[in-house]
Amino acid sequence: MTGRAVQDALRSWAAGSLLLTAAVELLTRCFDGRFAAASQPWIRVEPNGWTWLDDQDLAASLGALSRGERRVLTVVAALADSTGARRIDLTDVVTGIDRENLDLVLAALAHAAGSHEHAGLEVSDDSRSARLVRLPPLHPWPDSPLDDAPGSAPTVTSRASQAGPLPFGR
């Protein structure tokens, strides 16, 4: 399974969960995606091709990584935590992440919070009408070099994340 195929399979597995989607996007975008490879012990590829992220194995493997890698992957593990019990030390995590990966972590947190699906009230200049509009993400995902590659698959997103007015509230 190629790196891109693994990443696409992980995105399919995570679709429908803001937390898992944020974790998978962060994993596939950080450090050139090398931690989202099928060769990593926390990436599970079942005989039928079903691919998923084992957050328990990821959390248990963090000690062997560099400090920067550990910090970013700690966020991935926390977002993907199947038990909801994993806590992270934000002081440690955010003080040692380089700018490029901090950008990705901020986008992951904004995505996990659903900021790309938030709505706001837009009132007309004369205050006689109002409508609900979709707000932009608080911190969008930075462009990836793979996003513009010929034949590259888009990130799996929900219909609700598409920009524009909401279908109600005219």
**Which pLDDT belongs to residue 117?**
87
**Which pLDDT belongs to residue 144?**
64
DSSP code for 138: S
Which pairs from 40-45 meet CB under 8 Å and 24+ separation? 43/6, 43/10, 45/1, 45/6, 45/9
* Predicted confidence (pLDDT) per residue in 16-73, tens digit: 999 999 999 999 999 999 999 999 999 999 999 899 999 999 999 999 899 999 999 9
Residue ranges per structural domain of the chain: 3-161
Distance of CA 84 to the CA centre of its chain: 17
**Which pLDDT belongs to residue 86?**
84
Distance of CA 53 to the CA centre of its chain: 13
* Predicted confidence (pLDDT) per residue in 57-96, tens digit: 999 999 989 999 999 999 999 999 978 888 888 888 889 8
Contact in structure between 21 and 13 (CB atoms under 8 Å): no
pLDDT confidence tier of residue 1, bands split at 50, 70 and 90: confident
**Which pLDDT belongs to residue 50?**
94
**Lookup result for tokens 């509230």:** 169
Residue 162: is its pLDDT beyond 60?
no
Q: Which residue has the higher pLDDT, 143 or 100?
A: 100
* Predicted confidence (pLDDT) per residue in 120-139, tens digit: 999 989 988 999 999 999 99
Residue 142: is its pLDDT beyond 60?
yes
**Which pLDDT belongs to residue 26?**
98
